[in-house]
Structure 1
Amino acid sequence: MTVTTGGRSTRGGDAGARIAEQLRGRILRGEVPPGTRIRQEDVAAQFGASRVPVREALRILEHDGLVTLVANTGAWVSRLTLAECDEIYQMRERLEPLLLRLSAPHLTEADLDDLQRLAERMSETSDVDEFLELDRAFHLGAYRGATTTQLGELVVKLWNTTQPYRRAYSRSMGADAARIVHDEHHLIVADLRDGDVDDAERVLAGHIRRTRRRLSRHPELFEALQA
């Protein structure tokens, strides 16, 4: 299947899907931080819905990696320890280059032009939230050519679970680190245009690994988000 950023479809659950879409956006934008309890009655009142579509929405978000459901207890916005985040980044470091390799032969010139524009816009913005939105669009856009049954969906889930910590890190990223990030985005596009998938994979793996190592040096980011 083509990589997407949305959740799974629901059976007769259009209302649940709509609620999930709204909550997903708020979580990914950092409006609802990790560890926040999500009360079904509050969500139902907010959206003017019964608890049935709210429960379906929470199941969708659990599938997305954004919500943790505890039986007979409730729902919380998912959160990670530093060790868990490190493990997820190690998974991404190995899985995303493979997804890029599967995608690359099917990317059109128009797709590559879109990636180039996203890379340029990222290097021009100083707004962290805009950068994160563009960064997500860039990487998932680079994978859009892949047809997979599980890998694409898994990668999106891994992106979802690390989003709050990527945001916290990006706010503290210095000018030198930012410049390297932007250069790597441009290198990936250049490699894809040249048909050098081996180097594109290498740059991408290093790109992810560098973020993982920098995050590991900032345990305070996880402590703050766990509070």
Structure 2
Amino acid sequence: MTSDLQAPASRDGNAAMRVASGIRDAIAHGDLAPGSRLRQEEIAERFGASRVPVREALKSLEAEGLVTLVPNAGAWVSRLTLAECEEVYQTRERLEPLLLAHSAPHLSEADLDRLEELAAAMSSTDDVGEFVRVDREFHMLSYSRAETLMLGDLVERLWNLTQPYRRAYTVLADADTRRIMHDEHHLMVVALREGDVEGAARTIEGHIRRTRRLLSRHPEVFTTSG
């Protein structure tokens, strides 16, 4: 457990949910890398929780695919193989344009203004952690107005699974790739403002495919120990 994983200030509320949220955020932000060992006693101490909610939190995160539990051995942050990551990204390529199509007609002017601000913020930062955080906010906001039974939750779970590898992609991307990435964010905003849902959907599909293809050229990302 890294020192960057901070305990919530308050012990109020559901302890298992607090612990799960904290671990989930640490994975998303890169504080816990794929393959990292999760020791129950350290987690309990960090969050001021007993072992019972910690076990419940880990089981919840296992159901999300973020944690791997091995009987009589312990818990680890899940890691994907290259083939698994490609499968997840291929699934995202097909699902996220559909989710965006559900959401786009219901995005408000305030939503579009915020998307434009986020696109500009990504273009102006060289900090990987900040970029990854803002990038997630950008895409989750673009999907946030969709009224779907399960598609939104499924896409968020797939994002959680690939978030550590999204960080790796950002580090690996050269200047040209970063320029294209920023251009695509701005193109999405323009298309959404113009009501061009098909154009926005095509952009996000290519955006995801580009990430998948770059990661496929770096298998070492999937073998480095956490």
Q: TM-score, normalised by structure 1?
A: 0.90
Deviations 1:49-89 (A, max 9, x none): 21111112112322333212234432210100111101000
| 2: CA distance, partners of 1:76 / 1:54 | 13
> Structure 2 stretches of 5 or more lacking a match?
1-12
Please show how residues 25-174 of structure 1 align to structure 2 within 5 Å. 25-174=25-174
| 2: CA distance, partners of 1:116 / 1:61 | 33
Residue in 1 that maps onto 2:194 = 194
Q: TM-score, normalised by structure 2?
A: 0.91
Contact 1:169 1:221 in 2 (8 A): no
> Structure 1 stretches of 5 or more lacking a match?
1-12
Please show how residues 14-29 of structure 1 align to structure 2 within 5 Å. 14-29=14-29
Contact 1:181 1:207 in 2 (8 A): yes
**Which amino acid in structure 2 is aligned with residue 151 of structure 1?**
L
Residue in 1 that maps onto 2:213 = 213
Q: Measure how far apart 1:20 and its partner are.
A: 1.4
Q: Measure how far apart 1:160 and its partner are.
A: 0.8
| 2: CA distance, partners of 1:63 / 1:155 | 15
The higher relative CO (CA closer than 8 Å, separation ≥ 6) is in 1
Q: Measure how far apart 1:191 and its partner are.
A: 0.6
What stretches of structure 1 move > 6 A for 4+ residues in a row? Answer: none
CA RMSD of aligned residues (A): 1.5
Q: How many residues align?
A: 215
Instruction: Give me the identity figure in percent.
Output: 63
In the superposition, relative to structure 1, how do residues 151 and 71 fare at CA in structure 2: closer, same or farther (>3 Å)? farther
Residue in 2 that maps onto 1:8 = none
| 2: CA distance, partners of 1:192 / 1:79 | 34
Q: Measure how far apart 1:134 and its partner are.
A: 0.5
| 2: CA distance, partners of 1:210 / 1:159 | 15
| 2: CA distance, partners of 1:58 / 1:117 | 36
Q: Measure how far apart 1:24 and its partner are.
A: 1.5
